[in-house]
Amino acid sequence: MMILALETTAKAASCAVLREGMPLATAWQATGLTHSRTLMPMVEDMLKNSELTLADMDAIAVAAGPGSFTGLRIGIAAVKGLAWAADKPCIRVSTLEAMAWPLAHMTGTIVCAMDARRQQIYNAIFEAGEGTLKRLCPDRAISLAEAAEELHHIHGPITVVGDGWKLCTDFLTEQGIACQAAPAHLRLQSAVGVAMAAERLGQEGQVSAQELAPVYLRLSQAERERLARLNQG
C-alpha cells in the first residue's frame, strides 16, 4: 500500500509517502510560515523529486485532529482537493496516535501531549513495545493535573511526545513523576507518523473526500466566547 500523508495540526507542516511501511520521501518545515503558503509546494516538490504522482497512491491520509483549528482546516481542505482530483480515498488519522507510532520501537508508556492552552493538553496514552502500540485511553483534552494523577500509577519508563512536550515534562517532573522527552528528531508531529497510523487502519479507515472532516475535541475560543455571551444574556 502506498500512502501520501499530510500533517498540519501544529507549527510544523509536513508531508510523506510510505510504501509497505517504508518511507519513500518526506518534507518537513517549521519556519513559522503559514501552512496555506508552504504545504502544497512541499507536496508538489516532494512528489516531483521522487518521480511519483497522485495516481501512484492508494490513499491520502491526514492528521484530522485534535490540533490547531486553522491548521486542521488547511490540512483537511488540501486532502479533500487532492483526493477529489485524483479520485482517491482518504484516511482520517488521530493526530495523537500518529505522534506515537514513530516511537513504537521503544518499550514503555508514550504520553502524547499537544498544548491546548489554559494549562490543558490534548492527550492520549499508549503502551509501546516490539513495534506495536496499545491505546490506554481515548483522545481527550485534559488538565495537566489530571494527566499527572493518571501517570502516578504507571510503572516503567514514560516518554512524552508532541509540541506540548516541555509543558508536560516540566509539570510531571514537578509532581515527582519520572519522564523523558522523545528524541529530538521524533519529538514533534510528522506526516511519517500519520502514514504509519493510516497504513494500520488500511481499508477499514478509508472515507471519501466528502466524508472527511476534522476532529476538534473542544470548541474554538470564538465559539466559547459566543456561548458565554448567550448564557449571560
What is the three-state SS of the chain?
CEEEEEECCCCCEEEEEEECCEEEEEEEECCCCCHHHHHHHHHHHHHHHCCCCHHHCCEEEEECCCCCHHHHHHHHHHHHHHHHHHCCCEEEECHHHHHHHHHCCCCEEEEEEEECCCCEEEEEEEEEECCEEEECCCCEEEEHHHHHHHHCCCCCCEEEECCCHHHHHHHHHHCCCCCEECCHHHCCCCHHHHHHHHHHHHHHHEECCCCCCCCCCCCCHHHHHHHHHHHHC
Q: What is the pLDDT along the chain (233 residues), one digit of tens a residue?
A: 999 999 999 999 999 999 999 999 999 998 888 999 999 999 999 999 999 999 999 999 999 999 999 999 999 999 999 999 999 999 999 999 999 999 999 999 999 999 998 889 999 999 999 999 999 999 999 999 999 999 998 999 999 999 999 999 999 999 999 999 999 999 999 999 999 999 999 988 999 999 999 999 865 444 444 445 556 65
Question: What's residue 229's pLDDT?
Answer: 56
Question: What's residue 62's pLDDT?
Answer: 98
pTM exceeds 0.85 for this model: yes
Question: What's residue 118's pLDDT?
Answer: 85
Question: What's residue 208's pLDDT?
Answer: 96
Residue 174 CA to residue 114 CA, distance in Å, equals 19
Question: What's residue 226's pLDDT?
Answer: 47
Question: What's residue 231's pLDDT?
Answer: 60
Phi and psi (nearest 5°) for 44? -60, -45
CA distances from 211 to 92, 201, 205 (A): 10, 16, 12
Question: What's residue 149's pLDDT?
Answer: 96
Residue 142 CA to residue 119 CA, distance in Å, equals 9
